[in-house]
Amino acid sequence: MKKRNGIEKLRMAFAIVVFMLVLVPSVHAEVINCNNCSDCSAKIQSASAGDVVKLTEDITNHYGNCIEFNDKDGITFDGDNYMIYGDNDFEGYGIYLSYQSNNNIIKNCKINDFRYGIYLSNSDNNNLTNNTANDNNRYGINMPGSDNNTVENNTLNSNTNGGIYLSNSDYNTIEGNTLSQNVQHGIYTRDSGNNSIYNNYFNNTDNVNFMGTLYSNKWNTTKIAGTNIINGAYIGGNYWAYLDGTGFSETGTDTDEDGICDNYYTLATNNIDYLPLTEPPVPQVIIYVNETGWWIEPDQFNPSSTPIQSAIDHATAGNTIIVKNGAYTENVDVDKCLTIRSENGPENCTVNAAIHGDSVFELIWSADNTNLSGFTVSGATGTDSAGISLVGVSHCNISGNIVSGNNEGILVFDEANNNKIINNTITSNSGDGIYLFWAVQNTIENNNVSLNSNQGIFINFSGSNTIANNTMAGNTYNFGVSGNYLADYTQDIDTSNLIEGKPVYYWIGESDRQVPSDAGFVGIVNSSKIIVKDLTMTENLYGVMFAFTYDSTIENVTASANMYGIYMTDSSENNLTGNIISDNNGKGIHIQSSGMNLIYNNLFNNTNNFGIEGTIAKNDWNTTKTSGKNIINGSYLGGNYWAMPSGTGFSETCTDTEGDGICDNYYNLTTNNVDYLPLVRVRGDLEITDVWVNWPDNCTICYNVTNIGTGTASEGHNTSLYVDSVEKAYDFVAEPLMPNESYTGCFNYTWEYKPPEDNITVCVDFNDTVTESNETNNCLSETWMCGDVNMDGTVTPADSGKVFNHYLDSNYPLGLSWAADVNGDGTITPADSGKIFNRYLDSSYDMDCCCARKDRM
C-alpha cells in the first residue's frame, strides 16, 4: 500500500473541489462529438471541465493507444456504445488516463483487442461505468497507483491476463461488474488495500489472485434489500462461480433462502467475503399458453395476440412456460431465466416469425440458464435474423427443436458461452444451420443439420467448443472453422461427427499420422508430419485445412465444390503436390500468413485460383524442372497448371515455344510468390491411320486412331462413322493417348455394302474435346468397291493378281480383304481371283462380296 494516508488524501481532494467551486463561475457543460482516436483525444484536450466528449461511430483496427487524456481532469468521455477495436496485435491501450488524470467519467465504451482496455496510471477519483472491455491481451481494466476510483457495472470478459488489475491502488470501489472467462484471473491485486469490492459476478478459473504485500480489502457491503448482480433480493458480497460449476456460490448452502450463503468465503488473510451471494431456489410456477392467451392455474385466462411473449413478460425468472399445440405467429424475446417448452413436441407446435427481419426466438443477455425445447421454428428470413438466436447468454439449453425456413438456423454470438445445442433438426435455412460467432465453450451435439444454403455448422472466431455426434448432409458447405488465432481453432471435435456419412477428422497437436481414406472433413491444427493423401474432398468450407501446422503433406487430393479447396493459416514448411483443385467457389488455395511451403505439380481450375493475405511470406510454387509425368500428363515436373473455367487461365493462354510443356514466362501471383515453371499442355494430334471391315467374322467397321503429336490427347473424344456422307455410328474413346500411342475400336454398326461403291469416312474428335496442334487431319475417307482390293477406284487385272498372290502367300498385303472375297464364302481362293478378272473383262459380270448380303452379315 502507498505510504500516504488515505483519509488525508480524501480531505485534500475535498478541499480542492471546494476551492474550485468557489473560484470557477457556473457554466453549462458542452457536448462535443468525435469520430476517431486522434479526434477524440484532441477534443478531450481542448474541452473544459464538465464537458462531455461523445464518440459518434465505431473505431476499428487501431494500432497503439487510442483515447488519451494526458493529465486532463473533469471530462466525461461517452462511448455511446460504439466499438473501439484494436488491431489484434495487442499493443496500446483503448483508453489511457495517464499521470494524474483525475475526476473524469468513462462510460458506455466497448473496447476489444488492445493490450489493456482501460488504463488508469496514478489517476484518482475517476468513474468507470457501463463499459465493456473484452478480449484484450492483458487486462480489461488496469489501475496502477490509482486511488478513490469507482468501477461499476462494467463487463470484463475473456481477457488474457484478467478482468481488473490493482497495483498499489487503494480506496477504490468496484461494484456491479461481471468478470467472466478471463484466462488467468478475475481480479489481480498487488500491494493494494482498503478497496471495497462487492456485488460483482466472478466466473473464472482463478477468480482472485494476490501478489506482493497482502493488505486488507472489503469484499462485501452491509446486507441491504435491493436487486443484486444475479437478480437476488439482497446486496451483500459477490457471486463466486467457476467455469466447471464448482464455485463457492454455486455449491454453498442457503438455509434461509435469502440469496446469501450460510458461510463466509475466505479469499486470503484479511480478505473475506462475509456475505457471498448465491441463487436461492425459485418456487415452481408453470404458465400455460395456447393460441389465444396464457394463464397460471387456477388463475384467470389472459387473452393475447402474442401469447408466448406475453407469458414471458409476466413470468419471473425460474418459471416454466408450457405451450399447447398450435401455430403461433410472433417474435419471442427471452430476457430472463426460464424453461420454455412445447407440450407435445415440435410436430405439434409451430412458431412462425411475425416480423421476418427479426429472429423467432431471441435469448438476450439476462436470459442465462434458459431452456428452450420442442418447437418448430420458421419464418425469420431477414438479413441477420435466425430461427433461434443466443446473444451473450450462458448456460442455456436449446434442444429438441425443428428449425427450418429461416435465414440462419441457430445463431450463437456476441460472447454467448457455455450453452448447449442438442438434439435439434436444422434444415432448409437460407444461411447457416448452426453459426457460432465470438462464442466459446459451447456444446453442439446430436444435431441433424441438412440442406442449408450456406454452411451446415460454422464456427467463427470461437474457441473451445465441443462438437460431437452431429450429422451433416446436403448443405452447400457442410462444416467449417475459421479465425485468426490458434485459440479460434482449438476445439473438441471428434469422428462421431459425420458429413455425408463420412467422419470428421479434426486433429490438434498430432504428429506422424496419415488421415484415413474415409474422411468427410480434414482440419489439421497445431500439428506436424501429417500426411493428407489420396482423398476426394467436397462441399465443406475447406477441402483441406491447415492451421498452425508445419512439415506436413497434402498429396493427390481432389478438392472441389468447397468454398476453399485448400486453406492454410500460419502454416509453414508444408508440401502440396499432385492435387486437383477445381470448381471451388471462393479460392482454389487460400494462404494466410504462411510461408516456406512448397506447392508444385497441382492443377488449379477455379474462377479465383489463389488468395494470399495477412503477412505475405515467401512460398515456392515450383520445383526444379525434372523429367517425369506431371499432373496434366506432360513430360516434365516444374510448377503448377493454372486454368480457369472460362478457359483463360495462365497455363491456357501462355506460349510454349520449346514445346516442353513449360510456359515461356513465369506466373507472378504476388510479392514473394512466383511460379517460375508454370505448366502448359503440349498438344496432341489425333489421326485416323486405318479403317477396315472386320472380315470374315462380320461386317462391322473398325478403325485405328493414333496420337501423332508431342502432347497427350485427353480422354472423352468421339470417333464417328459416315457412309456416303451420312453419320451411321460413333464410338467413345475413354482413355488418354500419350504421344505415338494408338487406340483401336469398332463401331456398333453392321455395314451393308451397296454397289457400285460406298464412300467410307471415319473422323476422330468430332466433338472437339481435344485441343490439337493440327485440327485438319482428323478424318480418313476411302471409296470401297467390291473387287477393288487396291482401292484405286476400278476393278483391274492388278486386283485379280493381288488376290491370287494372297492365296499363294497369306502375308501378301491386300488393301481391302473383304473386297477380295467376291463369292462371299469367307475365304480368299483362286476362284475369287478369277471372278475379279472376269469382272474386268465384262463389267456386268456378277460378284457377290460378303457385306453386300444381309444373310451373310
* Whether residues 335 and 417 fall in one domain: yes
Indicate whether 652 and 582 sit together in one domain.
yes
Phi, psi of 776 (to 5 degrees): -100, -5
**Is 703 in the same domain as 634?**
no
Return the bridge partners of 143, or none: 166
Q: Are residues 659 and 690 in the same domain?
A: no
The residue count of the chain comes to 857
Torsion, Cα 823 825 831 835, to 10 degrees, reads 10
3-state secondary structure of 818: helix
Average pLDDT score over residue span 246-269: 95
Q: Cβ distance 363 to 371 under 8 Å?
A: no
Residue 26 amino acid letter: S
CA–CA distance from 773 to each of 682, 707, 765 (Å)? Answer: 8, 11, 13
- Give the per-residue pLDDT at 340: 99
Cell matching residue 278? 448465491
Residues 720, 633 within the same domain: no
Percent of the chain with pLDDT over 70: 96
Q: What is the pLDDT of residue 28?
A: 64
The verdict on 831 and 792 lying in the same domain is: yes
Same domain, 202 and 350: no
Pairing of strands 293-295, 286-290: antiparallel
Let me know whether 756 and 837 are in one domain: no
Question: Residue 211 is placed in which grid cell?
Answer: 501478489
Domain termination residue (choose one: 662, 681, 700): 681
Lowest mean pLDDT across 21-30, 220-229, 463-472, 484-493: 21-30
Residues 293-305, mean pLDDT to the nearest whole number: 95
Query: Among 281-295, 374-388, 399-413, where is mean pLDDT lowest?
Result: 281-295
Q: Which helix (H) or strand (E) holds 30?
A: none
> Is the predicted pLDDT of residue 299 greater than 80, yes or no?
yes
Average pLDDT over residues 424-440: 98
Q: Decide if 256 is inside a domain.
A: no
pLDDT at 718: 86
How far is 71 from 124, CA to CA, in rounded Å?
Answer: 11
Q: Do 544 and 620 belong together in one domain? A: yes
Is the pLDDT at 97 greater than 50? The verdict is: yes
Question: Structure pTM?
Answer: 0.62
- For residue 711, what pLDDT band results from cuts at 50, 70 and 90? confident
Domain annotation covers residue 259: no
Considering just the CA atoms, what is the radius of gyration of the chain in Å?
40
H helix or E strand, kind and range, residue 311: helix 307-314
3-class state of residue 40 by DSSP: helix
d(CA 716, CA 765): 9
Q: Are 76 and 104 in contact (CB under 8 A)?
A: yes
Q: What is the pLDDT of residues 563-619, one digit of tens each?
A: 999 999 999 999 999 999 999 999 999 999 999 999 999 999 999 999 999 999 999
The SS3 assignment for 485 reads coil
Q: What is the mean pLDDT of the chain?
A: 93
Q: Is the pLDDT of residue 4 over 60?
A: no
Looking up cell 477406284, which residue turns up? Answer: 793
The average pLDDT across 96-104 equals 93
- Looking at residue 842, the DSSP 8-state letter turns out to be -
Backbone dihedral angles phi then psi of residue 711, each to the nearest 5 degrees: -115, 170
pLDDT at residue 306, as a whole number: 98
User: DSSP letter string over 104-126?
Assistant: -EEES-EEESSSEEEEESS--S-
Retrieve residue 482's grid coordinates.
Answer: 475459421
More confident residue, 82 or 22: 82
The Cα 404–Cα 386 span in angstroms is 10
Asked if 279 and 232 touch (Cβ cutoff 8 Å), the reply is yes
Beta carbons of 107 and 80 less than 8 angstroms apart? no
Partnered with residue 782 across adjacent β-strands are 760
Give the model's pLDDT for residue 698.
87
Residues 515 and 538 sit within 8 Å (Cβ to Cβ): no
Domain count, the chain: 5
Q: Which residue has the higher pLDDT, 844 or 538?
A: 538
567 — alpha (psi -120 to 50), left (phi > 0) or beta? beta
d(CA 81, CA 119): 19
Domain stop point among 172, 206, 221? 221
Residue 282 — very low, low, confident or very high, per pLDDT cuts 50/70/90?
low
Domain-located, residue 703? yes
Spatial contact of 679 and 756, defined as CB atoms under 8 Å apart:
no
Domain boundary among 654, 681, 708: 681
Domain that holds residue 802: 786-857
269: helix, coil or strand?
coil
- pLDDT confidence bin for 848, thresholds 50/70/90: confident
User: Do residue 639 and residue 753 come from a single domain?
Assistant: no
Residue 513 forms part of a structural domain: yes
3-state secondary structure of 828: coil
User: For residue 843, what pLDDT is reported?
Assistant: 87
Q: Report the pLDDT value the prediction gives residue 580, as an integer from 0 to 100.
A: 99
Give the CATH number of the domain where residue 411 resides: 2.160.20.10
Mean pLDDT, residues 285-304 taken together:
96
Q: Residue 807's pLDDT band (boundaries 50, 70, 90)?
A: very high
Q: Are 409 and 452 in contact (CB under 8 A)?
A: yes
Residue 92: pLDDT above 60? yes
pLDDT at residue 21 in the model: 37
